């Protein structure tokens, strides 16, 4: 009875080993399935490989010996996980590494194209804006233009007054306002250009 129990326990242990090792080995028929889960109809490898596994376990071969036998017969691709030995590990990692590097390269190229395109658009539009705006006017240039406008207005006002089109009271008010504005403009120009500002008498003379 004791011997029977040992045999039964040994059979259970072998079944457990077969199950464990069978999930560490791939069927090499091309189905890309684990050996014990291969359901490829008409598979010419799964039955033979299962028999080899059961026979090796029945002989008492160690797990490592069983796996090494499968590697010798079918190559390292038979393993579901790579071994920890140099080239075998690299051979398993390389496809995934190549995929990651390929994706990274594509992302880099797309990103670079977006950056270059954005920079080109920015450059084109900045050039267009600069051309449309033309040279920026300085404060002094603006004041000189405004001064000319005020002088023209003074001359026109004097002409209208002589022609009797502007009442004397309105004429004096408008003339004083224009002369004050002109004096203020000339004072600012003189300050910016570091020169003396003309007197109001000079302005009155220019307005005649």
Residue 29, pLDDT score: 83
Helix (H, G, I), strand (E, B) or coil at 52: helix
Convert the pLDDT of each residue in 84-132 to its tens digit: 555 555 655 667 778 898 899 899 998 888 988 888 777 766 655 555 5
pLDDT of residue 45: 84
Residue 140 phi, psi dihedral angles, 5° rounding:
-65, -45
Residue 9 has pLDDT above 80, yes or no: no
In this prediction the pTM is 0.36
Looking at residue 195, its pLDDT comes to 56
Higher pLDDT, 207 or 77: 77
- Per-residue pLDDT at 135: 55
3-state SS class at 38 = coil
Range ranked top by mean pLDDT from 23-32, 78-87, 97-106, 176-185 = 176-185
- What CA–CA distance (Å, rounded) separates 35 from 27? 4
- Give 33's contacts (C-beta < 8 A, 6+ positions apart): 26, 27, 39, 40
Instruction: Read off the pLDDT of each residue in 184-201 and give the average, rounded to a whole number.
Output: 76
User: Do 160 and 166 meet the contact criterion of CB atoms below 8 Å apart?
Assistant: yes
End-to-end CA, the chain: 141
Supply the angle between the helices 46-59 and 63-74 in degrees, to the nearest 10: 150
pLDDT at 36 over 50: yes
Tens digits of residue pLDDT in 123-164? 766 655 555 544 557 888 899 999 999 999 999 989 988 888
């Amino acid at each position: 009875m004791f011997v029977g129990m040992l045999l039964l326990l040994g059979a259970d242990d072998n079944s457990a080993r077969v199950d464990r090792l069978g999930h560490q080995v791939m069927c090499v028929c091309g189905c890309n399935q684990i050996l014990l889960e291969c359901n490829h109809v008409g598979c010419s490898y799964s039955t033979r490989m299962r028999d080899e596994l059961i026979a090796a376990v029945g002989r008492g071969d160690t797990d490592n010996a069983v796996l090494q036998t499968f590697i010798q017969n079918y190559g390292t691709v038979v393993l579901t996980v790579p071994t920890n030995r140099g080239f075998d590990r690299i051979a398993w990692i390389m496809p995934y590494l190549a995929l990651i590097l390929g994706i990274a390269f594509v992302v880099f190229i797309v990103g670079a194209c977006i950056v270059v395109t954005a920079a080109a658009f920015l450059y084109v539009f900045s050039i267009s804006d600069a051309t449309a705006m033309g040279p920026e006017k300085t404060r002094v240039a603006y004041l000189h233009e405004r001064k000319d406008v005020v002088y023209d207005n003074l001359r026109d006002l004097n002409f209208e007054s002589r022609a009797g089109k502007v009442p004397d009271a309105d004429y004096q008010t408008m003339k004083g306002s224009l002369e004050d504005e002109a004096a203020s403009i000339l004072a600012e120009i003189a300050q910016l250009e570091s020169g003396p500002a003309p007197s109001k008498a000079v302005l009155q003379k220019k307005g005649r």
